[in-house]
A = this chain, B = another copy of it.
Amino acid sequence: MSYSIGQVAEKLGITIDTIRYYDKSGLLPFVKRNEIGRREFTDNDLHLMRTIVCLKNAGVSITDIASFISLRLDGDDTLDQRYQLLKAHEQDLQQQITDLQDTMSYLRFKEWYYETATEAGHEDIHFVPGTNEVKPELDQEYDAHLKTTDQLDELARFANVKDYRLRKN
């Protein structure tokens, strides 16, 4: 059982052109061609391509994914290198998530700012009277916000660790 490029595009939710671009970029050296030169994808190819798409979603560059794939072709000697590569990107990803969560809490703070301003009908409830400057104590309000999300984050980290241990045992 094999799939055409169009079917794969459908299954993975990416375009045909993107798949061809990935192939050009050395991400799909394992994909075989049939007699008339068309790509034929196996279930296993799909499996691997899901990993590729996933790494891409994690913000891993095409070049880095290519090295990962090329390590794979070199066989069992590179298992540990591949593990290390993933581990490194996990760190990266955790950082990205933390950053986004911080941004989120800043957004929530700004929402509160506009929510209260809308209720009041004018923005200057947050200004120093007689100026166009934001009240300094708003920074503290923001800090308080950051703190609650930090706690959330710790909670998440704890849950992750637990999850990790469960899997290992």
Nearest neighbor of A122 in chain B, beta-carbon distance: B76
A89 CB, min distance to chain B CBs, angstroms: 7
Bound form: Cα–Cα A138–B116 in Å:
50
Q: B residues within 8 A CB of A133?
A: 42-44
How many positions in chain A have a CB within 8 Å of any CB in the partner chain? Answer: 57
Binary CB contact string for chain A from 79 to 123 against chain B (1 if under 8 A, 0 otherwise) = 110110011011001101101110110111011101101100111
Q: Find chain B residues with CB under 8 A from A101 CB.
A: 97
Interface string of A52-80 (1 = CB under 8 A from B): 00110110000000000000000110011
A93 touches B79 (CB 8 A): no
Q: When the two chains form the complex, which single residue of B42, B103, B123 contacts A76, counting CB atoms closer than 8 Å?
A: B123
Min CB–CB distance A81 → chain B (angstroms): 9
Chain B nearest Cβ from A129, distance in angstroms:
14
Residues of B within 8 A of A100 (CB): 57-58, 93, 96-97, 100
Q: How many copies of this chain?
A: 2
A34 on interface, CB distance cutoff 8 Å: no
A-B contact pairs, 17 of them (CB 8 A): A54-B103, A54-B106, A57-B100, A58-B103, A58-B104, A79-B117, A79-B122, A83-B111, A83-B115, A86-B111, A87-B111, A97-B101, A100-B100, A152-B159, A152-B163, A155-B156, A155-B159
14 further A-B pairs in the complex, CB-CB below 8 A; given A86-B111, A90-B111, A108-B163: A44-B133, A58-B104, A79-B114, A79-B123, A83-B115, A87-B111, A90-B108, A93-B103, A96-B100, A97-B97, A108-B167, A148-B166, A152-B159, A155-B159
